[in-house]
Chains A and B, each alone.
Chain A
Amino acid sequence: MQVSFESITQRYGGHTLFEDLDLRLPSGKFFTLLGPSGCGKTTLLRMLGGFVRPDAGRILFGDADVTHVPVHRRGVGMVFQDYALFPDRSVLANVCYGLAARKVARDEAERRARAILHRVGLADFADRAPAALSGGQRQRVAMARALVIEPRLLLLDEPLSALDVKLRVELRSMIRELQCEAGITTVFVTHDQEEALAMSDLIAVMNRGTIVQIGAPREIYTHPRTAFAADFVNGANLIPIEQELPGEPDGLRRVRTQAGVIATDCQSPVQHGSQLAVRSEDIRFIEVGSVAAGALAGRIEHIEFRGSTTGYLVRTDAGPIRVDTQTVQHDQSRRRGDAVLLALPRNACIVGAA
């Protein structure tokens, strides 16, 4: 089922959150709303759920206008950050709850509930109380409870953010599998770019009530269109562009920055306030003294050993630049305070200001 927002406007007090916002979520896709807290992603999700009513505009499920349909008649499944399991009911009773509301016969409801509990790997936990489960298990129950009613739309409100890292990775693949099996249109809200990239068919990057960019994970990651997306999604280094220079025979474009002239294969137009987004893992250290076009000299200010990668903060004429390298065994030569030379990649993106 395709879901659409049509010219949504929403105000809180004197502050406008959305102004004439349009958004279309294609049928059967895993759609992620990604953004920092306060960007409006949860409000959009809650509008779909029916918990928030827009001040103006329409919400369509397929062709049907559901803007004024109350929560309990929308037929959406929702999974909450804090699980929201009914504490006084068993796991099985939690899963049966929505079926009972749909007047499904008791036996049939229990059969379906047990089947889905089996699917999420909790067949043996049906009679437990929610309090007796771990966080990951509780969120599986919540998934089972939302899916068992065969909703038209599945809403996931940061379902993984209360879990620890290892469980999060495990659960996200399970959620993705369940969603693919059911083929159900799903909206996922998160502020974690890794989660968004790992799970989604489509990502909408949001900032302050506007949608900055929509695209497949790979596109969002490799071709951010704005400085915000570049910074939020992959934490790229941003170097202000002073001027575009005439192209050269190699087909690359040249832009002038404080760090000198940098070559890029990006085709986006340069406008006022455009910046060059350079991902930290694409930057290489090259030997000091070597002559390379667009090489950037600097001094190491901070080194952070993270295990598989090592991060460097290098102070250059163009400001601080982050560099990530794969950690290799003999890679202990660089020290804080060392003068280094950085080679910038050709795939840096020209991004707009907003």
Chain B
Amino acid sequence: MLGTLRRDPAWLTVGLMGIGLLGIFLVWPLVGMLGKSFINTDGTFGLGGYTRFFSDASYRDVLVNTLILGVAVTLTSMVLGGGMAVIVARCRFPLAGLVTALPLVKLVIPDVVVAAAWLLILGKQGLLNTLLAPIGIELPSLYSWWGLVFVMTLNNYVYAFVAVLVGLKSMDRNLEEAAQSLGRPIGHVLGGVTLPLLLPSLFAGALIVFTHVIGSFGVPAILGARTPVLAVKAYNEFVSEMGGNPQMQTTMASLLVFLGAGLLLIQKLVVERRQFQMESGRSPTAVAVSGWHAAVASGAVVCMVALSLLPAVVVVITAFTPSVGPVLRYGGFTLAHLQYALVRAPEPLYNSLFLATIATVAGVLFSVTSAYLIVKRRAALTHLLDVMVMLPLTIAGTVLGIALINTFNHGWLVLTGSWVIMALAYFLRRMPTSVRAAAGPLHNLKDSIEEASMSLGVSPLRSFVHVVLPVIVPSVIAAAVLMWVTTLSELSATVVLYFGGMNTMPIEIFQQIDSGRLALACAYSLVLLVTIFIPLALARWIFKLNVGTLE
């Protein structure tokens, strides 16, 4: 149960505090929310919420929409991202190196900014429609299935790309060579040996994309007026039910939790069981391609990177474009929008920076100690901590927001209407990634280093500080930067939790889009992009940390 913590009261206390913290602020709200979904409008216990959900077509459609969107975007993302990963991993051609920029691009441009940019390009009054109008062509509306799938694919294909690429790179070249040496033609080898070994990575990539899609809020909220999905519908119920019976919002949020739990179960039972340990680190070599093959491959890569970068370009241009109401006058130049975002109403920037900093400091302290306990002090207790720490990864932001607000709006601990609940949500959402980042180098750190320090007369906690911490500091700083920038772009939990006077940057952008002031949205987007990019660039190129890299 306690393992080596039995004779280490200091670390035991830290571990218990961590579990207690997550118990109160994560597990309790989730359990409470699941519980509320079973409380009928008349206050009795029952399945009323679920009965209503599945009998009312307008609710049922929401679930169907969510699943359709999830499957569609997963498929397109896997084709685009997975295909690109295969090409890049197995072929050498000019400009293939451009793909290394993709994870960074994905980090720098938040989903809501991507949505805003594509509205500007493909919307009814968008650039392309304005160009095509004279010749009588009108593009299909972006506020539709294809618009949703298109924008969300661009938002998510990088996850598929990275997952498949990592799988391909960790493949053992010797296996393919062994199969070939046994007399198999290369085609059979790829289908019979490589593909089965790659399946876990394909599946893992698909699961990541699917989880992201069904939980995402920003893009469906902006583009999906006609195709409501669970996360958005739960939010709308939340807004309209405030103060009333929270059964429908908690029912929908719970459905999302069940979906996430189901996916996690699939991950555990199907994917992880089929994970194979590769013997050697010799990854398959890339074959040089030339001629029109290379041209197609280069073209595809350039095209994808350009599509991913385009939102940033559009946002930058639009931020400086004069506007009259919703109409943009491209070709002109003005600083008015930027001045508004930075001087007249800079509070969202300050709020975002403040909240991200608080959440990051707390998150890093928590992540370092939890990662240490999970990796170096294996026991039933720290395993429980491990499970709790990874829990937020399966929970959509909107769901977490609804759970927190339903729990902490009454009783002994009231947090609603304060920044604490927002910082708490950010902490919970981004901390799992930091724990993983800190756990990586700890796995490689030999236990004997710490034991040597203790045997030389230094207490366990001081040994951790003197010997363990210096080794993991680079990864921890990288994780902190990552946590900070991803917190800056958080929208789906914020939208539930924010209150008057506590607008964050993504909320401001979301609201400006909602009220048709796209130029202002772009000005805030530009500020957000710069705020995210600078620390990332510093970390990556000045301090040589692994942030937003493929490794």
- Which parts of B451-469 form the interface with A (CB within 8 Å)? 451-460, 463, 466-467
Tell me the complex Cα distance, A68–B467, Å.
24
Q: Which residue from B6, B448, B463, B467 sits with its C-beta under 8 Å from A80? A: B448
A26 on the B face (CB < 8 A): no
Q: What is the CB-to-nearest-CB distance from B111 to chain A, in angstroms, rounded to a whole number? A: 39
Q: What is the CB-to-nearest-CB distance from B463 to chain A, in angstroms, rounded to a whole number? A: 8
Tell me the complex Cα distance, A84–B452, Å.
6
Tell me the complex Cα distance, A78–B448, Å.
10
Which residues of A are found within 8 Å of B452, using beta-carbon distances?
Answer: 78, 80, 84-86, 142, 145
Q: Which of A95-103, A114-122, A173-181, A296-304 contacts B (4 or more CB under 8 A)?
A: A95-103
Tell me the complex Cα distance, A26–B449, Å.
29
Which residues of A are found within 8 Å of B456, using beta-carbon distances?
Answer: 72, 77, 97-98, 101, 145-146, 149
Q: A53-B6, A86-B467 are in contact. Are A101 and B458 (CB under 8 A)?
A: yes
Asked if B471 and A82 sit within 8 Å, CB to CB, the answer is no
Nearest neighbor of B7 in chain A, beta-carbon distance = A53
Residue-wise, chain A 68-111 has the 8 Å CB interface mask toward B (1 for contact) of 10111111111011111111100000000110011000000000
Which residues of A are found within 8 Å of B471, using beta-carbon distances?
Answer: 87-88
Tell me the complex Cα distance, A155–B453, Å.
14
Q: What is the CB-to-nearest-CB distance from B466 to chain A, in angstroms, rounded to a whole number? A: 8
A305 on the B face (CB < 8 A): no
Nearest neighbor of A52 in chain B, beta-carbon distance = B4
Q: What is the CB-to-nearest-CB distance from A49 to chain B, in angstroms, rounded to a whole number? A: 6
Asked if A84 and B446 sit within 8 Å, CB to CB, the answer is yes
Asked if A76 and B453 sit within 8 Å, CB to CB, the answer is no
B191 on the A face (CB < 8 A): no
Q: Which residue from A73, A75, A78, A82 sits with its C-beta under 8 Å from B446? A: A82
Tell me the complex Cα distance, A74–B454, Å.
9
Which residues of A are found within 8 Å of B7, using beta-carbon distances?
Answer: 53, 68, 70
Asked if A49 and B453 sit within 8 Å, CB to CB, the answer is no
Among A72, A77, A146, max chain B CB count under 10 A is at A72
Nearest neighbor of A95 in chain B, beta-carbon distance = B456
Q: What is the CB-to-nearest-CB distance from A87 to chain B, in angstroms, rounded to a whole number? A: 7
B470 on the A face (CB < 8 A): yes
Which residues of B are found within 8 Å of A73, using beta-carbon distances?
Answer: 457
Asked if B455 and A72 sit within 8 Å, CB to CB, the answer is yes
Which residues of B are found within 8 Å of A149, using beta-carbon distances?
Answer: 456-457
- Which parts of A26-77 form the interface with B (CB within 8 Å)? 49-51, 53, 68, 70-77
Tell me the complex Cα distance, A155–B454, Å.
13
Which residues of B are found within 8 Å of A50, using beta-carbon distances?
Answer: 454-455
Q: What is the CB-to-nearest-CB distance from B460 to chain A, in angstroms, rounded to a whole number? A: 7
Number of interface residues of B (CB under 8 A): 21
Q: Which residue from B448, B457, B470 sits with its C-beta under 8 Å from A102? A: B457
Which residues of A are found within 8 Å of B6, using beta-carbon distances?
Answer: 53
Q: A53-B7, A86-B467, A88-B470 are in contact. Are A72 and B460 (CB under 8 A)?
A: yes
Tell me the complex Cα distance, A82–B451, Å.
12
Q: What is the CB-to-nearest-CB distance from B354 to chain A, in angstroms, rounded to a whole number? A: 34
Q: Which residue from B4, B451, B458, B459 sits with its C-beta under 8 Å from A84? A: B451
Q: What is the CB-to-nearest-CB distance from A290 to chain B, in angstroms, rounded to a whole number? A: 55
Tell me the complex Cα distance, A125–B466, Å.
22
Q: How extensive is the interface on chain A, given as a class?
A: 20 to 34
Tell me the complex Cα distance, A353–B176, Å.
50
Q: A87-B471, A88-B471 are in contact. Are A80 and B451 (CB under 8 A)?
A: yes
Tell me the complex Cα distance, A72–B454, Å.
5
Which residues of A are found within 8 Å of B457, using beta-carbon distances?
Answer: 72-73, 75, 98, 101-102, 149
Tell me the complex Cα distance, A338–B208, Å.
69
Tell me the complex Cα distance, A87–B454, Å.
16
Asked if A72 and B458 sit within 8 Å, CB to CB, the answer is yes
Nearest neighbor of B457 in chain A, beta-carbon distance = A101
Residue-wise, chain A 264-280 has the 8 Å CB interface mask toward B (1 for contact) of 00000000000000000
Asked if B458 and A82 sit within 8 Å, CB to CB, the answer is no
Nearest neighbor of A87 in chain B, beta-carbon distance = B471
Tell me the complex Cα distance, A145–B459, Å.
17
Residue-wise, chain B 77-104 has the 8 Å CB interface mask toward A (1 for contact) of 0000000000000000000000000000
Asked if B454 and A71 sit within 8 Å, CB to CB, the answer is yes
Tell me the complex Cα distance, A145–B458, Å.
14
Asked if B470 and A71 sit within 8 Å, CB to CB, the answer is no
Q: What is the CB-to-nearest-CB distance from A267 to chain B, in angstroms, rounded to a whole number? A: 44
Which residues of B are found within 8 Å of A49, using beta-carbon distances?
Answer: 451, 455
Asked if A84 and B460 sit within 8 Å, CB to CB, the answer is no
Which residues of A are found within 8 Å of B463, using beta-carbon distances?
Answer: 72
Which residues of A are found within 8 Å of B460, using beta-carbon distances?
Answer: 70-72
Asked if B448 and A84 sit within 8 Å, CB to CB, the answer is yes
Which residues of B are found within 8 Å of A70, using beta-carbon distances?
Answer: 7, 454, 459-460
- Which parts of B428-447 form the interface with A (CB within 8 Å)? 446
Nearest neighbor of A78 in chain B, beta-carbon distance = B455
Asked if A71 and B446 sit within 8 Å, CB to CB, the answer is no
Which residues of A are found within 8 Å of B466, using beta-carbon distances?
Answer: 97
Q: What is the CB-to-nearest-CB distance from A330 to chain B, in angstroms, rounded to a whole number? A: 46
Nearest neighbor of B467 in chain A, beta-carbon distance = A86
Tell me the complex Cα distance, A290–B36, Å.
98
Which residues of B are found within 8 Å of A78, using beta-carbon distances?
Answer: 451-452, 455
Tell me the complex Cα distance, A78–B470, Å.
22
Asked if A76 and B455 sit within 8 Å, CB to CB, the answer is yes
Q: What is the CB-to-nearest-CB distance from A83 to chain B, in angstroms, rounded to a whole number? A: 8
Which residues of A are found within 8 Å of B451, using beta-carbon distances?
Answer: 49, 51, 71, 78, 80, 84
Q: What is the CB-to-nearest-CB distance from A93 to chain B, in angstroms, rounded to a whole number? A: 11
Sample of 16 A–B contacts (CB below 8 Å): A51-B4, A72-B454, A72-B456, A72-B457, A77-B456, A78-B455, A80-B451, A84-B448, A84-B451, A84-B452, A87-B471, A98-B456, A102-B457, A142-B452, A146-B455, A149-B457
Q: Can you add 6 more A-B contacts, CB < 8 Å, to A75-B457, A146-B455?
A: A50-B454, A76-B455, A77-B455, A97-B456, A101-B457, A146-B456
What residues make up the interface of A, taking CB atoms closer than 8 Å to B? 49-51, 53, 68, 70-78, 80-88, 97-98, 101-102, 142, 145-146, 149, 155
6 closest A-B pairs by beta carbon, nearest first, are A98-B456, A84-B448, A71-B454, A84-B452, A101-B457, A80-B448
